[in-house]
Structure 1
Amino acid sequence: MADYCAPLCDMRFLLNDVFRIPSRYAELPKLAGILDDGIADAILEEAGRITAAVVAPLNRSGDEEGCSWQDGKVTTPAGFPEAYRAYAQGGWPGVGGDPAFGGMGMPKVIAAQIEEMVNAANLSFGLYPMLTAGACLAIHMHGSEALKQAYLPPMHEGRWSGSMCLTEPQAGTELGLIKTRAEPGADAAFRLYGTKIFITGGEHDLTENIVHLVLARLPDAPPGPKGISLFLVPKFLVDADGRVGERNAVSCGSIEHKMGIKASSTCVMNFDGATGYLVGEPHRGLAAMFTMMNYERLGVGIQGLALGERSYQTALAYARERVQGKGPGGATAGKGADPILVHPDVRRMLLTMKALNEGGRAFSTYVATQLDIARYGSDAALRERAESLVALLTPVVKAFLTDMGLETTVHGQQVLGGHGYVREWGQEQLVRDCRITQIYEGTNGIQALDLLARKVGGSAGALCSLFTAEIRGFVDADADGLAEFADPLIEAVQQLEELTTWLLEQARTDPDALGAASVEYLHVFGYTAYAYMWARMARTALDLQGQDEFASAKLATARFYFARLLPRTASLIASIRSGSGSLKVDEAWF
């Protein structure tokens, strides 16, 4: 497999040129000055170094060895504990954490780039700090001051890690069905009883303590999702001085044997009267957990992007080296064959990968900026607008980036032909690892239904209009010299708006209309959102054209996206407009 190299040039292009993050964030009082003096560049440079040198080399060996379980203990693959300590020494688990509790204080837009790097280097490894960062966010936003003081500093430091315990055997998507219960105990603590499954990082040997955030029901809880509370349950109890004490009554019953991410421990966790502490208000646990989940869903989308980037780097290196066949104009003078990069179909696959990766990176960066504005903005109206965009775009960034991530990893495997199917080059592992991103943190079908039925339908189309109005505003403000990108972008926006109106009208008389169209609708939305990102990147590249090859390559990729990928929406729209009738078949016919 080709060595991983963080795409720092593209990240800097997005942060500094397209979205102008340093100047924009200088206007946010809580972030003013935090990115001055090249701090962001230095952080990204060092993150690129450690992920390439320390984390990436363990990707294949970690997959081959996997995690092991014996007598309740989970052992990660060789090298993982040492790599995690090195990662923690750099402060990376707390990159987005509050400095008051030992974090770096970086905004999400910076943390998102680091997430891409660590997940591209080694997705299994990246899941451990990702869950920790999400748990820290939930504790910071909803926990008591005592919980923050006791748990956030060692978690930001990387000495302790976190997990998110939601799913139960009978309760996956419908969390209102959970049975884990919490009974009041002494000293404001509770005793938790129940079993959770599919818990990423529920048990391992990387940190001295693991902090579980657990959804459970209090004795007086009303039925359904409104009766769920959130509890902090440490693996080891913590004394008044912050020292790790005796083992809590929480244990790992087994680990799953999976298709991919084999170096990430996916655990069955048993709570047998475990001591836990209420996070937030009683019966409001789901709202608190969604604080974490919205960030995690962006993070999962970034995982799909990251694996696509890793696959692209390997495929490109192979295509430049592998000599096979003659190009359309005949073989290069004096040679019997050419590198496969000269073949049009190989270029089609590589350009598809490049366009989807760079479009996805721009889109995830855009959503990260909205999360930052919603959290740190001083203007109430701007915060409310950003919160609305986050609500609308979270299911898109999770599902579309991971769907495109799988397509991209498969293209990368295909470029290598038979060598992509065997282990040597690592492409088959990327395909296997990427597959889970479409499933966990809410399957992509559920994300699509959330987008269309809840966000778009629930707002009578207003949320969609908020986003499309921004796109129209961009075109109106920057139309000069941008017609080759602006014209198809506006056409795509108009088609999305008309499709949205038509679907909401259909839903008035057909209860299956939205469910039947949701996945295709999300893809239409995703391709349109990427078109907006590509138009913004093209606008910036046009200003830089002639200065370097980077801008010329960016424009060429933008033209490929608009010519070869955005037209996919035509078939998706035709499928949606065929209606739900073809799905209404007798169950016995399956």
Structure 2
Amino acid sequence: MPTYTAPVQDSLFILNDVLNIERYNNLPGFADATPDMLEAILGEAGKMSAEVLQPLNEVGDKEGCVWTEGDGFDNTVKTPTGFKEAYDLYSESGWGALPFPEEYGGQGLPATLNAVVQEYVSSANMAFGMYPGLTAGAAAALVEHASEEQKQAYVPKMLSGEWSGTMNLTEPHCGTDLGMLRTKAARNDDGSFAITGQKIWISAGEHDMSSNIIHLVIARIEGEPEGTKGISLFVCPKYILDEDGNPGERNKLSCGSLEHKMGINGNATCVMNYEGAKAFLVGEENKGLAAMFVMMNEARLGVAVQGLAQSEVAYQNAADWARDRVQGRALTGAKYPDQKADPIIVHPDIRRVLLTIRSFNEAARALVLWTALKGDLSHRSDDEDEKQNADDIMGLLTPVLKGVLTDKGFDNTVMAQQVFGGTGYTKDQGVEQFVRDARIAMIYEGANGIQALDLVGRKLPSKGGRAVQAYFKEVGKLCSEHKDDEAMKPYVEPLSKALGDLQAATMWLVQNGMANPNNAGAASTDYMHLFGLVAMGHMWVLMAKTAQDKLSAGANGSTDYMNNKLLTGRFFAERMMPETRLLLKRIETGADTMMEMDAAAF
């Protein structure tokens, strides 16, 4: 059976030493994020994830959710054994309220800290983590765009876990192209709206863990323009609130069925039918897509964390197996001559696999937290230039994080499975579940091809390229600062070369993408991954410099950790960073060959 231990030491190293978040203790919420407080919070989050959530991961996969037809709109979904009790514990412990404003029942702590907790939860039980994760995204959209009355009515009980939340976008005929949606909103005499239509693939759309489910639904008000310009956002509760703000009349919406999926079986993925359901406009009419993007961006960062999380738990179990599994002899001679064979950890190819995954995990974790800190600064800083820069960088990196971390996260679960050999293909060790669960992260919240197109088509040219120019300047400055430091050369030189490749690729897109948009489309995924390698190489330079400084200062009992950090970073620099040159060459081939074949020939 799989095991999981939260990487608390690594998270604290990034937060305290690499990011030095104490320097922001003048900003709202950061004063409470002292090193002692961080250690206490992450220790408890790790304990809950390992002891409560991880044992339910296999249970959720085997049992799944059970849909039962009821009277009228009262179709029900039963979650797997133990999920309700775990959800209650999660809620009572306040995990869902961590980064939200105190005036709505939140704890006001940095979202950066919440990103760590979500990694642990997703590693332990990805399907479970989606229930509170979707609620947090819905609450964030309401905090940003709802009226004060709506915020007070819904957000506090969502943060407490008493109520949960969803996002309803996709319809049977449209996924990414939301302008094609058919769900309609008819005006009621009392100022509310009646929603009619069907939404599919709605995570946590119906379940038995909360007393009300607050659906955020995009729909087109009757008579409004076609396309994305006519989309509005509505809050549509499962139970309409009475005069006292409590769940009252059952709304005219229901879960028509559950999807049968490859993975995340413990999460209820629902077909939602709206049959004149009472709903209330959030924000302005026809401005729903902008409001929903708050939730979508929250979700995309959460999905990026899922990619890292599955990679981490798969790595831990593969490393344990490699240390214990006895098979063959080391190429340089028996390492354990008293045994019939050596543990497979002695083989270079096993170490290649493990270090590939580990070096990605540690860089990805740092990149998630570095970006999450930018998000905090964009909301909490009192320096307008800092806020603007942080918002620019976070917007630029969101598609990179979502696309690269989930692509590589899935690849890494497959590599971890390979370490187990034939046993990994069976259900005996549980690693095959990591592969199945990780696969969805590449698809939902905008398939990764869409993330790549968003990066090259929207994020790069946005505001005259302000964000990408600022990022290039920041990475270039870091390389320049350490170029003469002999100890840093193994990390800095590969990053400098990779940055040059990324800048060359960006210039190629500027010169060739506008002339022929297919060139941008053909290059987009390779460009996204090139950008991801530079961003992770950037993190490795920051971590390597921090580790070296800690060692010079005596390391305070963490010498082995710091030395291993430096070794892992060297592996990434030597084995992973050179891929940027290959990606650049692919980008420069353009779209001609790719687009030449007639569609009927495929």
Q: Name the CA distance, whole Å, in 2 between partners of 1:370 and 1:381.
A: 12
Q: Name the CA distance, whole Å, in 1 between partners of 2:161 and 2:467.
A: 38
Q: Which residue of 1 aligns with 2:21?
A: 21
Check conservation: 2:299, 2:445, Cα contact below 8 A.
yes
Match of 2:329 among 326, 329, 335: 326
Aligned CA distance change for structure 1 residues 283 and 19 (closer, same or farther; 3 Å): same
Return 544-553 or 200-209, whichever deviates more: 544-553
Return 234-243 or 126-135, whichever deviates more: 234-243
Give the aligned residue type for 1:101: Y
Check conservation: 1:461, 1:500, Cα contact below 8 A.
no
Instruction: Tell whether 2:600 aligns with 1:588.
Output: yes
> SS in structure 2 opposite 1:131?
helix
What's the CA shift string for 1:91-130, capped at 9, x where partnerless?
A: 1122222211111222111000001001000010000010
Check conservation: 2:16, 2:35, Cα contact below 8 A.
no
> SS in structure 1 opposite 2:260?
coil
Check conservation: 1:2, 1:317, Cα contact below 8 A.
no
* Matched pairs, number: 588
Q: CA deviation at 1:160?
A: 0.6
Q: Which residue of 2 aligns with 1:40?
A: 38
Check conservation: 1:2, 1:313, Cα contact below 8 A.
no
Check conservation: 1:460, 1:504, Cα contact below 8 A.
no
Q: Which residue of 2 aligns with 1:229?
A: 232
Q: Which residue of 2 aligns with 1:515?
A: 521
Check conservation: 1:516, 1:579, Cα contact below 8 A.
yes
Give the aligned residue type for 2:86: A
Q: CA deviation at 1:318?
A: 0.6
Q: Name the CA distance, whole Å, in 1 between partners of 2:191 and 2:43.
A: 45
Give the aligned residue type for 2:400: V
Check conservation: 2:186, 2:195, Cα contact below 8 A.
yes
Check conservation: 1:229, 1:286, Cα contact below 8 A.
yes
Q: CA deviation at 1:510?
A: 2.2
Instruction: Tell whether 2:392 aligns with 1:381.
Output: no
Check conservation: 1:123, 1:303, Cα contact below 8 A.
yes
What's the CA shift string for 1:263-305, capped at 9, x where partnerless?
A: 1111111111111111111111110110111111111000000
Q: 1:182-193 alignment to 2 at 5 Å?
A: 182-193=185-196
What's the CA shift string for 1:485-543, capped at 9, x where partnerless?
A: 11221111111101110122112432310001100111111111110011110010111
Q: CA deviation at 1:188?
A: 2.9
Match of 1:273 among 273, 276, 283: 276
Q: 1:234-249 alignment to 2 at 5 Å?
A: 234-249=237-252
Q: Name the CA distance, whole Å, in 1 between partners of 2:53 and 2:352.
A: 31
Check conservation: 1:96, 1:133, Cα contact below 8 A.
no
Q: 1:54-73 alignment to 2 at 5 Å?
A: 54-71=52-69, 72-73=75-76
Q: CA deviation at 1:214?
A: 0.4
Q: CA deviation at 1:458?
A: 4.6
TM-score by length of 1: 0.98
Instruction: Tell whether 2:217 aligns with 1:214.
Output: yes
Give the aligned residue type for 1:31: G
Q: Which residue of 1 aligns with 2:50?
A: 52
Q: CA deviation at 1:333?
A: 3.1
Give the aligned residue type for 1:55: L
Aligned CA distance change for structure 1 residues 330 and 74 (closer, same or farther; 3 Å): same
Check conservation: 1:182, 1:192, Cα contact below 8 A.
yes
What's the CA shift string for 1:295-321, capped at 9, x where partnerless?
A: 111110000000000001100111111
Check conservation: 1:194, 1:271, Cα contact below 8 A.
yes
Q: 1:454-493 alignment to 2 at 5 Å?
A: 454-459=458-463, 461-479=465-483, 480=485, 481-493=487-499
Check conservation: 2:501, 2:581, Cα contact below 8 A.
no
Q: 1:151-162 alignment to 2 at 5 Å?
A: 151-162=154-165
Return 5-14 or 450-459, whichever deviates more: 450-459
Check conservation: 2:65, 2:78, Cα contact below 8 A.
yes
Q: Which residue of 1 aligns with 2:124?
A: 121
Give the aligned residue type for 1:569: T
Instruction: Tell whether 2:450 aligns with 1:446.
Output: yes
Q: Name the CA distance, whole Å, in 1 between partners of 2:428 and 2:464.
A: 51
Q: Which residue of 1 aligns with 2:72?
A: none
> SS in structure 1 opposite 2:195?
strand
Q: Name the CA distance, whole Å, in 2 between partners of 1:102 and 1:469.
A: 40
Aligned CA distance change for structure 1 residues 177 and 420 (closer, same or farther; 3 Å): same
Instruction: Tell whether 2:169 aligns with 1:166.
Output: yes
Match of 1:283 among 266, 282, 286: 286
Q: 1:80-119 alignment to 2 at 5 Å?
A: 80-119=83-122
Aligned CA distance change for structure 1 residues 184 and 496 (closer, same or farther; 3 Å): same
Check conservation: 1:164, 1:213, Cα contact below 8 A.
yes
Q: Name the CA distance, whole Å, in 1 between partners of 2:401 and 2:26.
A: 26
Q: Which residue of 2 aligns with 1:405?
A: 409
Instruction: Tell whether 2:307 aligns with 1:307.
Output: no
What's the CA shift string for 1:550-570, capped at 9, x where partnerless?
A: 000000000000111111222
Q: CA deviation at 1:461?
A: 4.2
Check conservation: 1:392, 1:464, Cα contact below 8 A.
yes
Match of 2:395 among 391, 398, 401: 391
What's the CA shift string for 1:137-160, capped at 9, x where partnerless?
A: 011111111111111111111111
> SS in structure 1 opposite 2:517?
coil
Q: Which residue of 2 aligns with 1:557?
A: 568
Q: CA deviation at 1:351?
A: 0.3
Check conservation: 1:164, 1:199, Cα contact below 8 A.
yes
Return 502-511 or 428-437, whichever deviates more: 502-511
Q: Name the CA distance, whole Å, in 2 between partners of 1:518 and 1:120.
A: 29
What's the CA shift string for 1:420-472, capped at 9, x where partnerless?
A: 11111111010000000000000000000110121114555443222111101
Structure 1 alignment gaps of length 5 or more: none
Return 458-467 or 430-439, whichever deviates more: 458-467
Structure 2 alignment gaps of length 5 or more: 70-74
Q: CA deviation at 1:335?
A: 2.2
Q: CA deviation at 1:38?
A: 2.1
Give the aligned residue type for 2:516: D
> SS in structure 2 opposite 1:277?
strand
Match of 2:139 among 121, 133, 136: 136
Match of 1:348 among 337, 340, 352: 352
> SS in structure 1 opposite 2:53?
helix
Check conservation: 2:526, 2:587, Cα contact below 8 A.
yes
Q: Which residue of 2 aligns with 1:566?
A: 577
Q: CA deviation at 1:46?
A: 0.8
Give the aligned residue type for 2:510: L
Return 415-424 or 333-342, whichever deviates more: 333-342
Check conservation: 1:375, 1:383, Cα contact below 8 A.
yes
Instruction: Tell whether 2:300 aligns with 1:297.
Output: yes
Q: Name the CA distance, whole Å, in 1 between partners of 2:66 and 2:364.
A: 34
Return 183-192 or 550-559, whichever deviates more: 183-192
Q: Which residue of 1 aligns with 2:508?
A: 502
Q: CA deviation at 1:89?
A: 1.1
Q: Name the CA distance, whole Å, in 1 between partners of 2:2 and 2:346.
A: 20
Q: Name the CA distance, whole Å, in 2 between partners of 1:3 and 1:557.
A: 23
Return 240-249 or 3-12, whichever deviates more: 240-249
Taking only the aligned residue pairs, the percentage that are identical comes to 46
> SS in structure 2 opposite 1:440?
coil
Q: Which residue of 2 aligns with 1:423?
A: 427
Q: CA deviation at 1:484?
A: 2.0
Q: Name the CA distance, whole Å, in 1 between partners of 2:561 and 2:52.
A: 28
Q: CA deviation at 1:61?
A: 1.3
Check conservation: 1:250, 1:274, Cα contact below 8 A.
yes
Return 98-107 or 275-284, whichever deviates more: 98-107
Q: Which residue of 1 aligns with 2:3?
A: 3
TM-score by length of 2: 0.96
Q: Name the CA distance, whole Å, in 2 between partners of 1:186 and 1:473.
A: 60
